[in-house]
Structure 1
Amino acid sequence: MIRVKLWGSLRSLADDQDEVEIDARTLKDVRDALSSRFPRLKPQIDRGVSFAVDGLIYRDDWLLDVTKANEIVMMPRMVGG
């Protein structure tokens, strides 16, 4: 099991939880497990989310391996420039 922290508005879409535990080996697994467990999160995940893994932000690196030793934060994808 790994822990995923939910940032900002994502919390309200996940039953007001700021951290959840899921089984996952990659960021794709994290994304898919959260979509399945929290159906209200799925539309936001489909629009785009980013993950911070140990302080580095990943946008589309779905095959990145994650372990319970990683600090993982999911946040809405930032847009603009």
Structure 2
Amino acid sequence: MTVKVHLWSGLRTLTGGQEVVEVEASTIGEMLRELVRLHPALQAPIEAGVSVSVDGRIMASDLTAPVSAEDEIYLMQRLRGG
């Protein structure tokens, strides 16, 4: 299924200025892999660590968590506790 991923401003230059990227995925892991496949320049920041927000909930590291077309998904700079 197609999901829409909103990108934080620092990543938009790596996708030709796109604020929202559509990818085929059913899990967070698939979504990240597809983002890198479509936009190889995203590989380094994704490997360095990003935070994924699904419907306002930060998904820590569960790459098997499902995503759907109805979800509001944001790829953001890694959020760190302190």
TM range, normalised to the smaller chain? over 0.9
**Corresponding residue SS for 1:13:** helix
Report runs of 4+ in structure 1 exceeding 3 Å deviation. none
Percent sequence identity is: 37
Deviation at 1:11, TM superposition (A): 1.0
Give the TM-score normalised by structure 1.
Answer: 0.93
Give the TM-score normalised by structure 2.
Answer: 0.92
Provide, for residues 18-59 of structure 1, a one-character-per-residue CA deviation record: whole Å limited to 9, x for no partner. Answer: 001110000000100001111111000000011010000112
Counterpart of 2:18 in structure 1 is: 17
Return 5+ residue gaps in structure 2 as ranges.
none
**Cα-Cα RMSD:** 1.1
Return 5+ residue gaps in structure 1 as ranges.
none
Distance in 1, Cα, partners of 2:30 & 2:60: 14
- 1:75 and 2:76 matched: yes
Amino acid aligned to 2:67: V
Counterpart of 2:28 in structure 1 is: 27
